[in-house]
């Protein structure tokens, strides 16, 4: 008898009613009574469990009653229709085999565990409903992103993780080295990087954008989807030291064209996850954030608004609201500002930011004060996407690099792109974990990354 997946069994139940099947899975619950008992079995292919009934006729009835939560088992039995109950079927066992037992200190018991406790058991927490749902949604959303771009002919580019250049011209970066830390070779008070693996100083990348731009000047539409790193010591719910980013880059595309793609992408991901993870989304809607599904459906139906940064600040100043941080025409938006704006507008693109607070590669607008940058703010999460039209004019770019002290020598190849037929180019970055938090209502980034890395934490 071939083993069957619970997913198949649920999908085509009618095909299997009154037939004998064989399944393997893990025990989520075992309620042994005097003459019969019930096993809740999860085989990993669906969020919900299926019920297996066992009775005295089984020669190992007593042993089955003692099987612990967490053990893996093999079940043979007949699929019985249970039309009056919540689950459409159960399995009447003809054979139950213990595959692997579980030690007494198994932490994942059928009761409520705190998220902190489960973080300390990150190797086991996806055996709970909440984390099972989170990490299945993460997988489905990742695939949705690939489908969205590949179906439109975007070329997926694996940009390098180890890099000698600093894409953002700021930010704290991790050093990558093979020098012996006990005995770093020093010459005239400085590290002799000639002896290091790459014969120069190298870091973990903070963005793949600059390299993606090079590819956009050959393939027109490209995207990255890979890990990026920040060595920031801040411990917040929204920051991790290692996370995944999606960075599309489009040649012959201006800021407006870019916003169109960003809006379509966000809606595509939401729709795909709602369609393909109904059980999981129902769980988040019931137990994580009431009204989640409504919130997401509304996004699907809305047309994203667009305002300038200046309009945003005027709005905030004229709102009559007392903000903790005073809105400023040359300043960034605080979380409370973002909340006010998304309450008022729904999902909204804020464009044309003051150049002082944005990166060197963003295109200077004709006002000489602002750059063609955009943030997408969404209800509940604030900033979801940041992007810009790139400065394609070499003299302007060089001037900004000088003003912002970005080293030109390392970026000779990036400057080359402007010398060799460089077209208009625009792109944005989506923090993948931000998107998962937005989709699930889960508020701590540590709870949407399989094995999160944060300051003082690289366990597992």
When asked if residue 139 is in the footprint of a copy of itself (CB under 8 A), the reply is yes
Which is nearer to a copy of itself, 120 or 402 (by Cβ)?
120
CB under 8 A: which stretch of 32-40, 66-74, 259-267, 377-385 binds a copy of itself?
A: 66-74
Q: Residues 388 to 417: which contact a copy of itself by CB under 8 A?
A: 392, 413-414, 416-417
Among 20, 92, 146, 369, binds a copy of itself (CB under 8 A): 146
In angstroms, rounded to a whole number, what is the distance separating the alpha carbons of residues 157 and 215?
8
Residue 322, SS3?
coil
Least distance to a copy of itself from the beta carbon of 270, Å? 18
Binding mask 176-195 for a copy of itself (x = CB under 8 A): xxxx-xx-x-x--xxx----
Contact of 350 with 308, CB cutoff 8 Å? yes
Among 53, 81, 164, 317, binds a copy of itself (CB under 8 A): 164
When asked if residue 202 is in the footprint of a copy of itself (CB under 8 A), the reply is yes
Tokens of 287: 């137990």
Contact of 251 with 420, CB cutoff 8 Å? no
Q: Residues 252 to 311: which contact a copy of itself by CB under 8 A?
A: 252
When asked if residue 207 is in the footprint of a copy of itself (CB under 8 A), the reply is no
Neighbours of 351 (CB within 10 A): 25
Q: Residues 44 to 63: which contact a copy of itself by CB under 8 A?
A: 44-45
Among 4, 9, 27, 245, binds a copy of itself (CB under 8 A): 27
CB under 8 A: which stretch of 51-59, 133-141, 261-269, 286-294 binds a copy of itself?
A: 133-141
Alpha-carbon separation of residue 188 from 170, 185, 192, 201, 202 (angstroms): 26, 10, 9, 16, 20
Strands 186-187 vs 155-156: parallel, antiparallel or unpaired:
unpaired
Which is nearer to a copy of itself, 72 or 314 (by Cβ)?
72
Neighbours of 323 (CB within 10 A): 14
In angstroms, rounded to a whole number, what is the distance separating the alpha carbons of residues 149 and 339?
30
Residue 133: closest CA among 439, 455, 459: 439
When asked if residue 117 is in the footprint of a copy of itself (CB under 8 A), the reply is no
Alpha-carbon separation of residue 425 from 166, 388, 390 (angstroms): 20, 9, 6
Least distance to a copy of itself from the beta carbon of 219, Å? 4
In angstroms, rounded to a whole number, what is the distance separating the alpha carbons of residues 362 and 381?
24
Which is nearer to a copy of itself, 3 or 80 (by Cβ)?
3
Binding mask 72-111 for a copy of itself (x = CB under 8 A): x--------------------------xxxxx--x-x---
CB under 8 A: which stretch of 52-60, 153-161, 317-325, 368-376 binds a copy of itself?
A: 153-161
Among 124, 288, 357, 398, binds a copy of itself (CB under 8 A): 124
Q: How many residues form the binding site for a copy of itself (CB under 8 A)?
A: 106
Q: Residues 211 to 230: which contact a copy of itself by CB under 8 A?
A: 211, 214-221, 226-227, 229
DSSP 60-93: THHHHHTPPTT-EEEEEEEEEE-TTSSSSEEEEE
Alpha-carbon separation of residue 398 from 252, 259, 391, 415, 431 (angstroms): 22, 26, 10, 8, 28
């Amino acid at each position: 008898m071939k083993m069957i997946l619970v997913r198949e069994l649920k999908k085509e139940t009618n095909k299997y009613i009154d037939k004998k099947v064989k399944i393997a899975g893990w025990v989520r619950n075992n309620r042994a009574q005097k003459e019969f008992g019930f096993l809740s079995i999860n085989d990993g292919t669906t969020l919900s469990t299926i019920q297996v009934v066992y009775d005295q006729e089984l020669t190992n009835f007593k042993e089955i009653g003692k099987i612990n939560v967490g053990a893996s088992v093999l079940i043979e039995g007949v699929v019985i229709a249970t039309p009056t109950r919540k689950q459409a079927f159960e399995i009447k066992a003809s054979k139950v085999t213990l595959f692997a037992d579980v030690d007494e200190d198994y932490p994942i018991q059928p009761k409520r565990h705190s998220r902190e406790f489960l973080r300390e058991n990150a190797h086991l927490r996806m055996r709970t409903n909440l984390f099972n749902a989170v990490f299945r949604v993460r997988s489905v959303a990742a695939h949705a992103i690939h489908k969205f771009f590949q179906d439109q002919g975007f070329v997926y580019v694996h940009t390098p993780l180890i890099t000698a250049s600093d894409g953002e011209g700021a930010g704290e970066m991790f050093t990558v080295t093979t020098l012996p830390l006990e005995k770093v070779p020093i010459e005239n008070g400085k590290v002799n990087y000639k002896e290091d693996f790459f014969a120069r100083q190298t870091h973990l990348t903070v963005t793949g954008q600059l390299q993606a731009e090079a590819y956009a000047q050959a393939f027109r539409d490209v995207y990255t989807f890979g890990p990026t790193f920040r060595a920031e010591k801040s411990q917040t719910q929204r920051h991790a030291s290692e996370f995944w980013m999606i960075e599309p880059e489009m040649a012959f595309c201006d800021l407006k064209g870019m916003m169109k793609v960003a809006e379509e992408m966000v809606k595509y991901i939401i729709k795909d996850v709602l369609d393909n993870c109904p059980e999981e989304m129902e769980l988040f809607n019931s137990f994580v954030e009431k009204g989640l599904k409504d919130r997401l459906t509304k996004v699907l139906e809305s047309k994203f608004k667009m305002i300038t940064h200046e309009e945003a600040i005027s709005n905030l100043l004229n709102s009559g609201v007392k903000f903790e941080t005073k809105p400023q025409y040359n300043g960034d938006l605080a979380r409370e500002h973002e909340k006010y704006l998304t309450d008022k507008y729904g999902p909204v693109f804020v464009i044309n930011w003051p150049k002082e607070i944005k990166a060197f590669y963003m295109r200077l607008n004709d006002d000489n004060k602002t750059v063609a940058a955009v943030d997408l703010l969404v209800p509940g999460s604030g900033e979801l996407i940041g992007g810009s039209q790139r400065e394609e004019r070499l003299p302007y770019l060089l001037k900004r690099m000088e003003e912002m002290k970005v080293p030109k020598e390392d970026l000779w190849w990036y400057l080359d792109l402007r010398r060799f037929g460089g077209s208009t180019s625009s792109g944005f970055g989506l923090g993948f974990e931000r998107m998962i938090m937005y989709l699930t209502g889960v508020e701590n980034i540590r709870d949407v990354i399989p094995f999160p890395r944060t300051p003082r934490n690289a366990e597992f």
